[in-house]
Amino acid sequence: MNPLSPEEMERFQKLSNEFEPDVQGPLVSTKQSSHAIAVEYANADPTLATKTGTLAVTHPMTRIMKGDGNCGWRAVAFGYFEMLFALRDPSRVQRELARIKSLNTLMDQVGQEEHLYEIFVDATEDIFAQISAAIQNGTPDESFLVDAFNEEYSSNSVITHFRLLTSAWMKLNPHRYQAFLPLPLDQYCATQVETVRTEIDEVGLQALVDCVIEGAGLGVEILYLDRSEGEAVTPHQLSPNRPNIATIRLLYRPGHYDLLYRAEPTVNMAPVVNYQYAMTSNYSPWEQGALSFDVNPHLMSIPNLMADPSYGMAPSPIMSPVSPTPAQQSTSPFRVSSPQDMFHSPVPSHAPVPSTIPISSPPPPMTSLPSRSSDGPQIRLNPLVMKPNLSRSLPITTPFKK
């Protein structure tokens, strides 16, 4: 094979430099299921297949960026404006617009001419205006923003603006970035940051976050899809020491960035169960005179007691204690105690035990009851707080029967 002449070599080099892959699809896609990424890697390396399968669960939605060399810049720029719209705070949008415009001084300090960069700043300001109008008009979704970033002039102008800001920021803060670069910082900015269709790398991405994103109170997290150990993608927070109101999440595959959206947390609202539901309210009336305090409807809230049909009626005469019949004793699992068994006073062991225990005479029956309050449930007392002249006790209700 004959060697190529210098002229032919130069021609092929020029064709290589100007080659642009025919990448299909929009510059910014609508949200779609991350399951498509899992399907794409289903037959790939087992580690990648496992991680993309997990990704479809933890981050179920994604937004694909066109792989034209600007995907990383475009993903961050779109995520930045999307978060501002999602927060629905008009005052925050105006503050961000003022802050971004103030960054023009960075470009002035490094010698960039205003008449050259102002058209890119105007495109960014137009995006801010669209967001403000959408919030004011109650626009339900970010489709207007997707349309704006799919308009090539608008999208590339915003990206160029962010490139110029990042370059100026790095030149004004060389101590932060120079140690991580394989070439002088000025040369790096000219060839890797300011040049159109050159993909962003880790150092440039960190500088973009430092200059543009972090000041907005937003965070950026990169999830690396690689062959490292584990069943999930490897996350890396670019601003771990600052609290963030929201986070832009990027999925990085070698040479390409997309946007990811984490699964929204679900709130499990457990129903409140009232274990006293359907309890009987057929209670025998207690002796009002045996209470040592006034019946106050605000003392306690007990469900279902308001339906007591006997409340507000004159008390029935006090009946003498009735002993259970043998039949009742054989069928009921509960022992019915007489008032003497329940309320007799302790007797010293050295004292003679009387044959009978005196019972105080019952108080006179009440002729009227306190007016029933309609603003709260009433209180019922069990036999342990009754005087010994009473024989009735609260019935055993269904939830507690054997």
Q: Does the pLDDT of residue 277 top 70, yes or no?
A: no
pLDDT exceeds cutoff 50 at 401: no
Please check the confidence at residue 4 and state whether its pLDDT lies above 90. no
- Specify the pLDDT at position 364: 54
* pLDDT beyond 90 at 222: yes
pLDDT tens digit sequence for 160-195: 999 999 999 999 999 999 999 999 999 999 999 999
Dist. CA 52–CA 65, nearest whole Å = 18
pLDDT of residue 234: 93
Predicted pLDDT at 272: 54
Per-residue pLDDT band at 243 (split at 50, 70, 90): confident
Looking at residue 262, its pLDDT comes to: 94
Q: Which helix (H) or strand (E) holds 200?
A: none
Question: Are the C-beta atoms of 126 and 154 separated by less than 8 Å?
Answer: yes
pLDDT over 70, % of the chain: 61
Q: pLDDT band at 2, cuts 50/70/90?
A: low
DSSP letter string over 327-341?
HHHHH-SS----HHH
Q: What is the pLDDT of residue 320?
A: 45
More confident residue, 220 or 280: 220
**pLDDT tier for residue 240 given thresholds of 50, 70 and 90:** confident
Identify which of 264-273, 313-322, 393-402 has the greatest average pLDDT: 264-273
Q: What is the pLDDT of residues 91-125, one digit of tens each?
A: 999 999 999 999 999 999 999 999 999 999 999 99
- Annotated domain spans of the chain: 26-261, 279-308+376-393
C-alpha span between 237 and 75 (Å, rounded): 16
d(CA 116, CA 267): 51
pLDDT band at 303 (very low <50, low <70, confident <90, very high): low
DSSP state of 400: G
> Would you state the torsion angle of the CA atoms of residues 129, 135, 137, 140, taken in this order, to the nearest 10 degrees?
120
- Helix axis angle, 114-137 relative to 71-87, nearest 10°? 40
pLDDT score at 12: 61
Average pLDDT over residues 284-303: 51
Higher model confidence: residue 137 or residue 353? Answer: 137
Burial class (CB in 10 A: 0-12, 13-18, 19+), 68: middle
Query: What mean pLDDT is predicted for residues 124-137?
Result: 98
Contact between 76 and 213 under an 8 Å Cβ cutoff? The reply is: yes
Which of 23-48 are b and which e, b meaning 16 or more Cβ less than 10 Å from the residue's Cβ? eeeebbbeeeebbebbeebeeeeebb
pLDDT of residue 255: 87
Q: How confident is the model at residue 307 (pLDDT cuts 50, 70, 90)?
A: very low
Q: So what's the pLDDT on residue 30?
A: 96
Q: Which of 192, 198, 248, 193 is nearest to 223 (CA)?
A: 248
* C-alpha closest to that of 76 among 274, 252, 235, 241: 252
Q: Is the pLDDT of residue 291 over 80?
A: no
* Count of Cβ atoms closer than 10 Å to residue 362 Cβ: 15
64: Cα separation from own chain's centroid: 24
From CA 205, how far away is CA 221, in angstroms rounded?
Answer: 11
Query: What average pLDDT is seen over the chain?
Result: 78
Taking the C-alpha atoms of residue 169 and residue 51, their distance in angstroms, rounded to an integer, is: 36
Architecture of domain 26-261: Up-down Bundle (1.20)
Using CB atoms within 10 A of its CB, is residue 277 exposed (0-12), middle (13-18) or buried (19+)? exposed
pLDDT, one tens digit per residue, over 71-93 is: 999 999 999 999 999 999 999 99
The three-state secondary structure class of 234 is: strand
Predicted confidence (pLDDT) per residue in 54-72, tens digit = 999 999 999 999 999 999 9
DSSP β-bridge partners for residue 256: 253
Task: Give the distance from CA 67 to its chain's centroid.
Answer: 32
